[in-house]
A and B are shown apart, each in its own frame.
Chain A
Amino acid sequence: MGMYAILFERNLIKIAIGITLLEASANLFLIVLGYRTGGSIPVFTLAGEVRSMVLPTPQALTLTAIVIGLATSALLLSLIMLLYRHYGTLDVREIRRLRG
């Protein structure tokens, strides 16, 4: 879906949504890798009796990836705001000064 939005949408905001979708899917993929059936969260505070815990590393990796995604989308949106200010439109067909 994200790729579809990036390739075919003409609105910049929708492209940005596509990119965030792609990020979300990558993060979800990482988290799913660490699942164990019946696992509890890997935190020992007041945990009760623990049989098995889900793998902690994907969670740590995803945490990092989420923050990176957040930084990217913040920058993406501010670039879109600047583009809107310059061109007065959000249509990619009209933002075509750089060619060839």
Chain B
Amino acid sequence: MKKKVLFLIAILVVAGVFWGALSRVHPFGEKARAPMDDYYLENAQQERSVNNVVTAIVFDYRGFDTLGEAAVLFTAVCSVLALFRKGSEGK
């Protein structure tokens, strides 16, 4: 019980710290300075002839991330397959 109270206090402190940090990032919902995203929004159609800007970013501008992401999925599949493979090797 004591542990839980302590943890609650810790959570509140961490939340306070986070709130402080977040409020300094940029005002919520306002038009922040975002040159990179504006570049995507303006040029994605012209450069890559894609309507869906998110897809353009995922598969083109940051395509290498997506390759990595597919690799993570492949890794997980391989691991699960390796874990549940047939046969046993003893201890």
Enumerate chain A interface residues (CB-CB to B < 8 A). 3-4, 7-8, 32-37, 42-45, 52-53, 55-57, 59-61, 63-64, 67-68, 70-72, 74-75, 78-79, 82
Given the contacts A8-B3, A36-B30, A42-B41, A71 and B76 also touching, CB distance less than 8 Å: yes
Beta-carbon nearest neighbor of A59 in chain B: B54
A-B interface pairs (CB < 8 A), number: 90
Cα–Cα, bound, A36→B30 (Å):
6
B44 smallest CB distance to A (angstroms): 8
Please tell me if the beta carbons of A55 and B34 are within 8 angstroms of each other in the complex: yes
Residues of B within 8 A of A (CB): 3-4, 7, 11, 25, 28-32, 34, 36-37, 40-41, 45, 51-54, 56-58, 62, 65-66, 68-69, 72-73, 75-76, 79-80, 83-84
Cβ-defined contact, A75 with B80, below 8 A? yes
- 13 A-B pairs with C-beta separation under 8 A: A37-B30, A44-B52, A45-B51, A52-B31, A56-B53, A56-B54, A57-B37, A60-B54, A63-B58, A64-B65, A67-B72, A74-B76, A75-B76
Pick the contact of A35 from B29, B69, B75 — CB < 8 Å?
B29
Main secondary structure of the interface of B (DSSP, over half): helix
| Dominant secondary structure of chain A at its interface with chain B | helix
**Chain B neighbourhood of A34, CB < 8 A:** 37
Q: Are B66 and A64 in contact (CB under 8 A)?
A: yes
Which of chain B's residues has its CB closest to A52's CB?
B31
A-B interface, 6 closest residue pairs, ranked by CB to CB distance from nearest: A71-B76, A42-B53, A60-B57, A37-B29, A55-B37, A44-B51
Instruction: Give chain B nearest CB distance to A27 CB in angstroms.
Output: 14
**Distance to closest chain B CB from A64 (angstroms):** 5
